[in-house]
Amino acid sequence: MSLPEIVSRGEWRAARAELLLKEKAATRARDALNAERRGLPMVEVDEEYVFEGGDGKATLLDLFEGRRQLVVHHFMFAPEWDAGCRSCSGFLDQVGHLAHLHARDTSFAAVSRAPYPKILPFKARMGWTLPWYSSYGSGFNRDFEVTLAQEGELVERPGLSCFLRDRDRVFHTYTTYERGLDGLGSTTSLLDLTALGRQEEWEEPKRRASAYGAPAGSEHIRYHDEYEDRYGK
């Protein structure tokens, strides 16, 4: 195994300071990319998709749970499989407490093609409590290009899609696939994919989130059991 070079504390500090300059540049570049992502146009979703979850049948609008935004994890679980994808399972394991997303008026749900009776025991085995729906029998996975037809067979790939709600109208704002999920899972990383972002005052465009009445700003972060308004439940 090749290990890092051993140096003095002073040499380490100098090397660390040099790397920090590049890290700060990467952070500024990421902020600019996130702002450009928030500037993407959006597409209205007209298709009446029907999902199945713990409370029975649900529409895409139902998946919002009354919140302004929705992040969907396209979890690879084909109808003929006996268990969900290991990689997708690792991703869900690292998703943070949903109360922090809810406090930014954003819901999160996993969606798979497997029938719900197959999803339910696997979800229990993994110990997950987050919302998980079956899209079995609908064109949702194909329409969002996470189930592809290749050489006469259906192939699954992981993805994340973001949606924005304006009353009863639903809009698709962003989707990423495969390596695009690398480094995601935390509250801020998921919010960075959405049209409203982290809802901080320094973000561009200005006042987009506050116009919808969301509690913007890091000063509104609470312990996950302390959120009291409708966004945090």
- The pLDDT value recorded for residue 152 is 86
| Cα–Cα distance measured from residue 134 to residue 120, given in angstroms and rounded to the nearest whole number | 10
In which band, very low, low, confident or very high, does the pLDDT at 213 lie, cut at 50, 70 and 90? low
Q: What CA dihedral angle connects 75, 81, 84 and 85, to 10 degrees?
A: -80
In which band, very low, low, confident or very high, does the pLDDT at 161 lie, cut at 50, 70 and 90? very high
Has residue 219 got a pLDDT over 80? no
Q: What mean pLDDT, rounded, does the chain reach?
A: 91
Q: What CA dihedral angle connects 62, 106, 144 and 110, to 10 degrees?
A: -70
- The pLDDT value recorded for residue 108 is 98
Q: In what order do the strands lie in the sheet with 43-44?
A: 43-44, 169-177, 159-166, 69-74, 106-112, 132-134, 50-53, 56-59
Mean pLDDT of 46-61: 96
Q: By percentage, how much of the chain surpasses pLDDT 90?
A: 80
Tokens of 120: 């339910």
- Conformation bin of residue 111: beta by default, left when phi > 0, alpha when psi is -120 to 50: beta
Closest CA to 198 of 178, 171, 179, 217: 217
- The pLDDT value recorded for residue 139 is 95
Residue 229 backbone phi and psi in degrees, to 5: -85, 180
Residue 58 backbone phi and psi in degrees, to 5: -150, 150
In which band, very low, low, confident or very high, does the pLDDT at 232 lie, cut at 50, 70 and 90? low
- The pLDDT value recorded for residue 218 is 63
What residue has token string 């899209």? Answer: 135
Has residue 61 got a pLDDT over 80? yes
Residue pair 231/67 in contact (Cβ under 8 Å)? The answer is yes
In which band, very low, low, confident or very high, does the pLDDT at 1 lie, cut at 50, 70 and 90? confident
Three-state DSSP class for 193? coil
Mean pLDDT of 190-194: 94
